[in-house]
Amino acid sequence: MNIKDTSTSLLKEFAPQMGPWSWKGKTAVVILSAILLWGLYALYIQVFKGHGVTGMRDNVVWGLYIANFVFFIGISYAGAIISGILHLLRVNWRKPILRIAELITVIATIIGPIYILLCVGRLDRLHHLFMYGRIQSPITWDVLAISTYLVGSIIFLYLALIRDFAILSETNEIHIPNWRRKIYKLLSINFRNTPEQVKRLKLTLDVLSAIIIPTAIIVHSVLSWIFGMTLRPGWHSTIFGPYFVLAAIFSGTGVMIIVMYVFRNIYNLKRYLTDQHFRYMGYMLIVLAAGYGYFTFSEYLTDWYTSEKWDAELIDKLFSFEHYGWWFYFANFGGILVPLILIGIPKFRSVKTIVFSSVVLVAALWIKRYLIVVPTLENTLLPMQDLRPEYISYSATWVEWALTAAGVAAFILFFILMSRFVPIVPVWETSEYLEEIKLKTSDEKVLSEKRAREVKQESISVSTS
């Protein structure tokens, strides 16, 4: 079988996910849209009534929104590692999970910045960023970095899709409505799989994945510097850049595993999203958990050991059960130890425990972002002495929760819609991968036969001498 035949058979297998909606799919879309509408209603209230409807006040000027922003940009790292690092390292098993990773990146990078916009008091003046932009401000760095990253990831996703678009526009094996076929045709920009085209496409993808890696690192570093560049205890830390980058890769990998698991189950993709994939991703989680744990430890150890007044106050709040204790221990112990133990010890390691660890660590990292943003803002250098409790400590209002839920709903909804428009497992790359495996196994067969013959001959010559 050549690649073409493999891909045709693959396509047939993936056809159901792109066919008519199942009732489960329909309900999911209805529920998610309802949550999204609820969020839009909250947004309407916030825009027309002012930010007073949120829990943010003069001391805690940022809250849930910024935590969500960091979180979504963090999970966008799924694509950066899978299609960036693993691409350059030519790790072949990445191929079937490529598309999921890239979709996560693009969708999260679209949703994330919306949360920053939700913190902006005057959305009507956003153009000021371009009219009066100051390069000295970390916000400007963020605008530049994230927009570059978004454009880069969209291009990457698109280029990686071109071959599938071409296949989809031509295939007669599965039923595709004509209008859709036309769109695929248009999007495939005349890709006809000539050697020249393939060469160029591969080169472009190589270059892009080399660009995506530093861009991703820059994005999360400048994001951490929004905090790091202030004189606030808990924020003003030199390791914030790498710490955020690592946390982002960690949570990105976690979300990646969850999404893989969900799709594997609803679309029956066990053959392509194999246990092997989960195991490899699990190994990555161990390394990341260890690295992330190391950063976390050094961050809090140095603050606690020297115990400067403001740092000590913050640490007290984080560690005491009266304040953030439970959250803190869950975020910093649960999120690190659960994957280390469940995946690290072979006896416990299975697809289920890997997925479970991912859920725990993703939740832990979301809480962690909240714990970075809110307690520090509550911990002002001068005593707050305000009679209005909402000015002293932050608690999110329903508007903020609604918009948070809407972000998650939008993420899933986007994913469902995209998965119905393009195969969630890249047809072309996967066929290539399957062919390679076959080749490799047949090569190995040839090799081992040869080796066996040699051994035989050797033994003959030994016995004759």
Partner 1 sequence: MTEGTNRRDFFKKGLFAAGAATAGAAAIGFAHQDENEISAGEKVKLLSQSGEIIEVDKADLKMAAVNTAEALEKITTGREGIPGRKFTMVIDLGKCRNARKCITSCQKMHHLPEDKEWLNVKLIKDNEKAAPYWFPKTCFHCDNPPCVKVCPVNATFKRTDGLVLIDNDRCIGCKFCMAACPYSARVFNWDEPEVPEGMTHEHYSPETSMPAKVGTVEKCDFCPDMLRENKLPDCVTACPNGVFYFGDENEDAVTNGDETVRLSALLSDRAGYRFMEELGTRPRVWYLPPHNRMFPYERGFKDLPEEHVEMYNDYLNSH
Mark 341-380 with x for binding to partner 1 (rule: CB under 8 A) and - for no binding.
------------------------------------x--x
Comparison of 30 and 387: residue with beta carbon closer to partner 1: 387
CA separation, residue 91 to residues 48, 168, 217, 287, 354 (Å)? 51, 26, 21, 17, 21
Comparison of 16 and 50: residue with beta carbon closer to partner 1: 50
Tell me the torsion sign for CA atoms 230, 233, 237, 242.
negative
**Residue 387 within binding range of partner 1, rule CB under 8 A:** yes
**Residue 140 within binding range of partner 1, rule CB under 8 A:** yes
**CB of residue 58 vs partner 1: minimum separation in angstroms?**
5
**Residue 20 within binding range of partner 1, rule CB under 8 A:** no
* Helix, strand, coil percentages, rounded to 5, for the chain: 80, 0, 20
Q: How many residues does the chain have?
A: 465
**CB of residue 266 vs partner 1: minimum separation in angstroms?**
40
Interface with partner 1 (CB under 8 A), residue from 43, 45, 85, 119: 119
Among residues 61, 74, 50, which one has the least CA distance to residue 124?
50
End-to-end CA distance of the chain: 47
**CB of residue 41 vs partner 1: minimum separation in angstroms?**
19
- The residue range among 132-140, 270-278, 332-340, 361-369 that interacts with partner 1, by the rule CB under 8 A, is 132-140
Interface with partner 1 (CB under 8 A), residue from 49, 202, 270, 440: 49
What count of other Cβ atoms lies within 10 Å of the Cβ of residue 231? 8
**CB of residue 301 vs partner 1: minimum separation in angstroms?**
22
What count of other Cβ atoms lies within 10 Å of the Cβ of residue 214? 11
**CB of residue 61 vs partner 1: minimum separation in angstroms?**
4
Three-class SS of 188-229: CCCCCCCHHHHHHHHHHHHHHHHHHHHHHHHHHHHHHHHHHC
Structure tokens at 10: 């693959």
Structure tokens at 180: 């859709």
Interface with partner 1 (CB under 8 A), residue from 178, 179, 195, 231: 231
- The residue range among 98-106, 135-143, 337-345, 445-453 that interacts with partner 1, by the rule CB under 8 A, is 135-143
Comparison of 29 and 229: residue with beta carbon closer to partner 1: 229
Strand runs labelled E in 40-141: none
Interface with partner 1 (CB under 8 A), residue from 2, 30, 90, 121: 121
Interface with partner 1 (CB under 8 A), residue from 3, 28, 51, 266: 51
Comparison of 126 and 287: residue with beta carbon closer to partner 1: 126
**Residue 134 within binding range of partner 1, rule CB under 8 A:** yes
Tell me the torsion sign for CA atoms 168, 170, 175, 178.
positive
**Residue 114 within binding range of partner 1, rule CB under 8 A:** no
260 touches 97 (CB < 8 A)? yes
Angle, CA of 298, 299 and 304, to the nearest 5°: 95
Integer Cα distance of 321 and 397 in angstroms = 23
**CB of residue 53 vs partner 1: minimum separation in angstroms?**
8
248 touches 72 (CB < 8 A)? no
- The residue range among 210-218, 268-276, 381-389, 400-408 that interacts with partner 1, by the rule CB under 8 A, is 381-389
230 touches 53 (CB < 8 A)? no
Interface with partner 1 (CB under 8 A), residue from 24, 30, 90, 131: 131
**Residue 381 within binding range of partner 1, rule CB under 8 A:** yes
* Helix locations, 238-308, DSSP H: 240-267, 275-306
**Residue 139 within binding range of partner 1, rule CB under 8 A:** yes
**Residue 289 within binding range of partner 1, rule CB under 8 A:** no
**CB of residue 392 vs partner 1: minimum separation in angstroms?**
10
- The residue range among 79-87, 152-160, 207-215, 224-232 that interacts with partner 1, by the rule CB under 8 A, is 224-232
**Residue 226 within binding range of partner 1, rule CB under 8 A:** yes
Cβ-Cβ contacts under 8 Å for 325 (sequence gap 6 or more): 318, 319
Interface with partner 1 (CB under 8 A), residue from 16, 50, 214, 325: 50
Angle, CA of 296, 259 and 245, to the nearest 5°: 30
Comparison of 132 and 305: residue with beta carbon closer to partner 1: 132
What count of other Cβ atoms lies within 10 Å of the Cβ of residue 90? 8
Task: List residues near partner 1 by CB under 8 A.
Answer: 49-52, 56-59, 61-62, 119-122, 125-126, 128-129, 131-134, 136-140, 143, 226, 229-232, 377, 380-385, 387-388
